[in-house]
Structure 1
Amino acid sequence: MEQKELFKVAEVQLSYKPHFKAQERPQINSSRQAYDILLSHWDKELINYLEQAKMILLNRNNRVLGIVDLSTGGGGSTVMDSKVIFTIALKATATSLILAHNHPSGNLRPSSQDITVTEKLVKAAKLLEMDVHDHLIISENGYYSMAEEGLM
């Protein structure tokens, strides 16, 4: 193999280009505020049809850095990939995040899988010196906060 071929690798770049000053961004101090912000960014055509996952990225003052669409699944599940979640969070220099997904059935109770994935992501966040403030299960008519219910 030629020396030239050994060094053909992809360049990795980091960039985050916010379009607003930090003080102009919404500040989240409750699960209700997080739910309201998420619901305003949810595709209302899909909320009762497909399960989707999103996250809110936050700075140290709990100001919103961005809302990220993580995945769209089927009628009964979607994926929360820790590598994707934390790659995005690190790129945006987030210090904390709020996870969310919808249940098209309208049942807001977390499944055992919801609880397990939340525990896994909370542990991973700690290793990166980040916090997962909450994991919301939402519908167009309400939400369930795992933090408020003591599951985090």
Structure 2
Amino acid sequence: METQERKIDLFEVAEIKLSYSTKVKSSQRPRVASSRQVYEVFAQAWDQDRIEFVEDFKVMLLSRANRVLGIVTISSGGTAGTVVDVKLVLAAALKSASSSMILAHNHPSGNLLPSEQDKRITQRIRKAGEILDIPVLDHLIMTAEGYYSFADEGEL
């Protein structure tokens, strides 16, 4: 019985392409200049049926002119928390060629104050963004009735 051996080509690798395509002209993208405007854009993108139900973590990706390139949901969790993978946050920012980013997550409880875990993940993402020259401009905690801005409160 004859066995077939397959030769492995050590130089055969997967091709990786980096691309970004948009269907929205730059002039039509919303521009954000305050935490209130950021809250309003996030609120439009948030599923209002979930904001008091489960915790979601989203990232707003911005151009150099603070125009919104897009909003990506990084994770969705339970009623008391969600796991945030810093690598996914930065992968989205890099893939979209973002100049900066704004973080947001909701508290289904309605409590607007940040937890210690909220502060830690903000600092981890901020430090990672600094290395890649993609600063975190703010982190909002969202509820159905309002928001808390880390930047407005001097936490960034």
Deviation string 1:27-84 (CA, Å, 9 cap, x unpaired) is 0000110100101111111111100011100010000000111110001111221100
**Which residue in the other structure is 1:57 paired with?**
61
Q: Distance in 2 between matches of 1:12 and 1:108?
A: 42
Q: Shift in Å at residue 134 of structure 1?
A: 0.3
TM-fit CA distance, 1:2: 5.0
Paired residue for 2:127?
Answer: 123
TM-score relative to the length of structure 1: 0.94
Distance 2:45 2:134 in 1: 24
Q: Which has the larger radius of gyration?
A: 2
State the identity %.
48
Cα distance in structure 1, aligned partners of 2:30 and 2:20? 18
Q: CA RMSD in A?
A: 1.4
Aligned length: 152
Amino acid at match of 1:46: R
Matched residue, 1:106:
110
Partner Cα distance (1:12, 1:22) in 2 = 27
What is the aligned partner in structure 2 of residue 34 from structure 1?
38
**Distance (Å, rounded) in 1 between the aligned partners of 2:21 and 2:86:** 23
Measure, in 1, the Cα distance between the counterparts of 2:22 and 2:41.
Answer: 18
> Is there any run of 5+ residues in structure 2 with no aligned partner, and where?
none
Q: Report SS of the residue matched to 2:8.
A: helix
